[in-house]
């Protein structure tokens, strides 16, 4: 546990540099095996999971703090990251009675003085701003932080037990993702560079949680004009092979400007 103790010392020195009372939490979505997944951290010696999150340095913008957390946990930078809601209930940080909070405090085992600083910090009421990110799961390299031993993709349809209000934060992120999908094809960043129309439809179905009518979906998506068509994906008979598409970011930016979307 030497590594934890030294990390606690680092944390103790960092605390005065953080803005008090405010944190960021990132709901990092990925897509794999036709399932929408979210990146979670498993706290050491505990069967409880948490969203990757962090604090905001006094000389750092809130958006930069979220970007930093995302980068630290996935190794990915400059990917779609969007603030979606700020959680400000009184009770949300009241975890003093919770078993996992006691355990994590015991786990830290810092010196008496360090301990006071760190415990005072974590016992504080925090307002947290949730961000969601959409990542290509194949490009991300999940990395645990110093408090956790695992960092894994978990299916949103089968989430494990989560600390404080993190289940609610994920639920809200899902809600926002669905709403925004009605406007812009943001989900596309979850796919590899080239994909078939059926890949795209499956992704949308995973996000929306309901089946979509194939020809209708294809017609609407193509009408928006943000897809470039490429060669066919050859795996069987040429006449049945589906076309591959890629995302045209220039057109996408135009759509973003216009705020134009469509409904399914």
How many residues form the binding site for a copy of itself (CB under 8 A)?
28
Q: How far is the CB of 253 from a copy of itself (least distance, A)?
A: 16
Among 115, 143, 178, 232, binds a copy of itself (CB under 8 A): 178
Collapsing DSSP to helix, strand or coil, 180 comes out as: helix
Q: Do residues 82 and 132 touch, judged by C-beta distance below 8 A? A: yes
What is d(CA 120, CA 81) in angstroms, rounded to the nearest whole number? 31
Q: Which is nearer to a copy of itself, 119 or 184 (CB)?
A: 184
Question: 18, 17, 36: which is closest to 28 by C-alpha?
Answer: 36
Q: Note whether 125 binds a copy of itself by CB under 8 A.
A: yes
Phi, psi values for residue 155, rounded to 5°: -65, 135
Stretch that binds a copy of itself, among 82-90, 136-144, 188-196, 246-254 (CB under 8 A): 82-90
What is d(CA 109, CA 111) in angstroms, rounded to the nearest whole number? 7
Q: How far is the CB of 95 from a copy of itself (least distance, A)?
A: 16
Q: Note whether 19 binds a copy of itself by CB under 8 A.
A: yes
Residue 101 CA: distances (Å) to CA of 5, 94, 136:
17, 10, 32
Q: Do residues 81 and 71 touch, judged by C-beta distance below 8 A? A: no
Phi, psi values for residue 126, rounded to 5°: -115, 135
Q: How far is the CB of 175 from a copy of itself (least distance, A)?
A: 8
Q: Note whether 93 binds a copy of itself by CB under 8 A.
A: no
Q: Note whether 216 binds a copy of itself by CB under 8 A.
A: no
Q: How far is the CB of 21 from a copy of itself (least distance, A)?
A: 5
* Residues near a copy of itself, by CB under 8 A: 19-22, 56, 58-63, 65, 83, 85-86, 88-90, 125, 127, 129, 178-179, 182-183, 259, 261, 263
């Amino acid at each position: 546990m030497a590594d934890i103790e030294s990390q606690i010392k680092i944390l103790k020195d960092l605390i005065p540099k953080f803005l008090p009372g405010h944190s960021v939490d990132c709901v990092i979505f990925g897509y794999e095996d036709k399932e929408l997944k979210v990146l979670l951290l498993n706290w050491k010696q505990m069967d409880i999971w948490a969203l990757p999150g962090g604090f905001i340095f006094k000389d750092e913008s809130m958006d930069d703090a979220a970007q930093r957390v995302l980068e630290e946990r996935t190794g990915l930078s400059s990917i779609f990251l969007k603030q979606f809601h700020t959680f400000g209930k009184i009770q949300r940080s009241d975890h003093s009675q919770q078993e996992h909070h006691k355990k994590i405090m015991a786990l830290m085992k810092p010196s008496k003085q360090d301990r006071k600083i760190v415990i005072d910090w974590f016992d504080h009421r925090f307002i947290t701003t949730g961000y969601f990110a959409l990542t290509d799961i194949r490009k991300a390299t999940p990395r645990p932080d110093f408090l956790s031993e695992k960092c894994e993709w978990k299916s949103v349809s089968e989430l494990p037990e989560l600390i404080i209000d993190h289940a609610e934060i994920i639920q809200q992120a899902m809600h926002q993702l669905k709403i925004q999908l009605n406007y812009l094809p943001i989900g596309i960043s979850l796919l590899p560079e080239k994909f078939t129309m059926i890949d795209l439809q499956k992704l949308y179905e995973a996000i929306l949680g309901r089946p979509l009518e194939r020809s209708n979906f294809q017609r609407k998506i193509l009408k928006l004009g943000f897809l470039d068509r490429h060669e066919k994906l050859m795996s069987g008979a040429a006449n049945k092979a589906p076309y591959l598409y890629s995302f045209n970011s220039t057109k996408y930016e135009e759509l973003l400007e216009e705020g134009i979307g469509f409904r399914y």
